[in-house]
Amino acid sequence: MNTMHIHRRQFLGAGAMLAAASLAGCAGMSMGSSIGRVVVVGGGYGGATTARYLKLWGGNVDVTLVERNASFVSCPISNLVLGGYKQMADITHGYGSLKAAGVNLIQGEVVAIDAAGKTVRLADGRVLPYDRLVLSPGIDFLADQIGGLPAALDSGRIVHAWKAGPQTVALRKQIEAMADGGVFAMFIPKAPYRCPPGPYERACVVASYLKAAKPKSKVLVLDGNPEIVSKKGLFEKAFKDLYGGMLEYRPNAELKELSGNVAKLEFEDVKADVLNVIPPQRAADLARSAGLVNMNNRWVGVNWLTMEATAAAGIHVLGDATFPAPLMPKSGHMANQHAKVAAAAIIELLKGQPVNAAPVVMNTCYSFVSGRDAMHVASVHQYDAAEKTFKTVPGSGGVSAAASQIEGRYALSWADNVWADSLAL
Ligand SMILES: Cc1cc2nc3c(=O)[nH]c(=O)nc-3n(C[C@H](O)[C@H](O)[C@H](O)COP(=O)(O)OP(=O)(O)OC[C@H]3O[C@@H](n4cnc5c(N)ncnc54)[C@H](O)[C@@H]3O)c2cc1C
């Protein structure tokens, strides 16, 4: 058994393995008439995985995946692109393998959902009928909560790079163009936001690049939260041991307004040469326009056994757009796991059979603290029938004792495996 096999098996997760086993009888059922039409919107971590597993486990489900972008660009590992340790090509994949797996692919923008008529409409006017709809549209931003930010983002002067793609390239160019002795400042919004450890990883990886290439520079981390949100002790250690003297961390530093490259906080102004603002976040526009946002005016509440939106039966919502279960992170790994719960449930629902009543999902988030060394946090979440939500399994998961080179290698393997699993590579 080679390492790739071990990682892929581990990856499936216990609940997904059970679901796979219970559905194994239909895995080869590609003959016969379709048991139903499923339209999946969003070809990121959640949507791509759902499309793949509907074919893998359902066989004769008619699956159409609609994605606005031509290719999949991964947020995980994109911080390494900012540090110059990886290239965009390393985090970009095509959708060809999903197509080869039997998924109908449409590059386009879904602009409207008719829940009663069970259709979605694309920007080019096409209308797609469905029996079950899956949305994994990710996040959009509450940029107007920070004065001057919408205009700064529109002009391209400030980028968030919190969706990997052109903004990742733009931020890397800004960092490369910064003079030695310059200030790179980044702002972290209050939780919940996509990828809790991601901003601190970014601070470390950018500092790692600057320490080697422009050692007189400074990294200023302005955190809207009262303390580091994830892997606190490990990031504090990295900030001090690896970047002491050049990296400054400020908690409770809520960004109120932008004026040029000056960030106005409550009690002071901060001037930066490169300013990276990660705006507060909410479920993506499509979830909002479809009327599915019913939690804190930001997120989509879901039934965790089927991933159906509580606001609309028959519409399954996954990934970052959902209001999370307790201690459940907004991560690519978790979106991949939501997808497996949804795919298994949809197949059973299409067949008129009961869904798995006890799903289990898991998450591992690696974070790089340099171009080479990483650390992880892991958790296992079991459905609790009494509370109708996922709860972490006591004693499961854990956190690295320290960042290390070997975990850096595991982190890159994790990425290769999740990409292979989600995109059928
Ligand atoms: C810097 C950074 C580092 C990260 N590191 C990690 C990590 O190490 N590990 C980890 O597990 N997670 C990590 N994450 C988090 C991870 O990227 C997200 O949690 C994950 O992408 C969520 O998957 P999703 O399917 O909900 O959304 P996405 O992956 O964003 O997919 C949404 C897709 O929907 C498409 N879409 C949206 N609306 C429409 C529409 N109307 N029509 C057509 N298409 C549409 C979008 O184009 C997009 O492709 C990181 C995030 C960032 C920003």
pLDDT tens digits for 120-179?
A: 999 999 999 999 999 999 999 999 999 999 999 999 999 999 999 999 999 999 999 999
Q: How far is the CA of 170 from the centre of ligand 1 (A)?
A: 18
Q: How far is the CA of 71 from the centre of ligand 1 (A)?
A: 13
What atom in ligand 1 is closest to the CA of residue 79?
Answer: 1
Q: How far is the CA of 409 from the centre of ligand 1 (A)?
A: 23
Q: What is the pLDDT of residues 292-311, one digit of tens each?
A: 999 999 999 999 999 999 99
Please tell me if the CB atom of residue 331 comes closer than 6 angstroms to any atom of ligand 1: yes
Q: Given its phi and psi angles, is residue 14 left (phi above 0), alpha (psi -120 to 50 degrees) or beta?
A: alpha
The yes-or-no verdict on residue 357 having pLDDT over 60 is yes
Q: How far is the CA of 72 from the centre of ligand 1 (A)?
A: 9
Three-state secondary structure call for residue 375: strand
What residue owns the CA closest to ligand 1's atom 35? 42
Please tell me if the CB atom of residue 365 comes closer than 6 angstroms to any atom of ligand 1: yes
Which DSSP letter does residue 89 get?
Answer: G
- Residue corresponding to tokens 């290698």: 409
What atom in ligand 1 is closest to the CA of residue 136?
Answer: 25
The yes-or-no verdict on residue 19 having pLDDT over 80 is no
The yes-or-no verdict on residue 203 having pLDDT over 50 is yes
The yes-or-no verdict on residue 112 having pLDDT over 70 is yes
Share of the chain above pLDDT 90, in %: 90
Instruction: Tell me the CA distances in angstroms from 419 to 107, 110, 197, 291, 321, one per residue in order.
Output: 19, 24, 20, 31, 20
Pocket test of ligand 1: the residue of 39, 75, 98, 400 to mutate, having most ligand atoms within 8 Å of its CB, is: 75
Provide the pLDDT confidence category of residue 267 given band limits of 50, 70 and 90. confident
What residue owns the CA closest to ligand 1's atom 41? 110
What residue owns the CA closest to ligand 1's atom 17? 75
- Specify the pLDDT at position 24: 38
The yes-or-no verdict on residue 365 having pLDDT over 80 is yes
Give mean pLDDT, residues 349-365.
97
CA angle 148, 149, 150 (to 5 degrees): 100
pLDDT, the chain, mean: 93
Q: At what angle do helices 166-177 and 198-213 cross, to 10 degrees?
A: 40
Is this prediction's pTM over 0.85?
A: yes
Please tell me if the CB atom of residue 44 comes closer than 6 angstroms to any atom of ligand 1: yes
171: enclosing H helix or E strand: helix 166-177
Annotate 19-68 with DSSP letters as a single string.
HHHHTGGGTT--SSS-SEEEEEE--SHHHHHHHHHHHHHHSSEEEEEEES
What residue owns the CA closest to ligand 1's atom 22? 332
- Helix boundaries (H) for 59-95: 78-82
Please tell me if the CB atom of residue 199 comes closer than 6 angstroms to any atom of ligand 1: no
- Specify the pLDDT at position 32: 67
The yes-or-no verdict on residue 9 having pLDDT over 60 is no
Q: How far is the CA of 45 from the centre of ligand 1 (A)?
A: 6
Please tell me if the CB atom of residue 366 comes closer than 6 angstroms to any atom of ligand 1: yes
The yes-or-no verdict on residue 11 having pLDDT over 60 is no
**Residue 369's closest CA among 214, 190, 180, 219?**
219
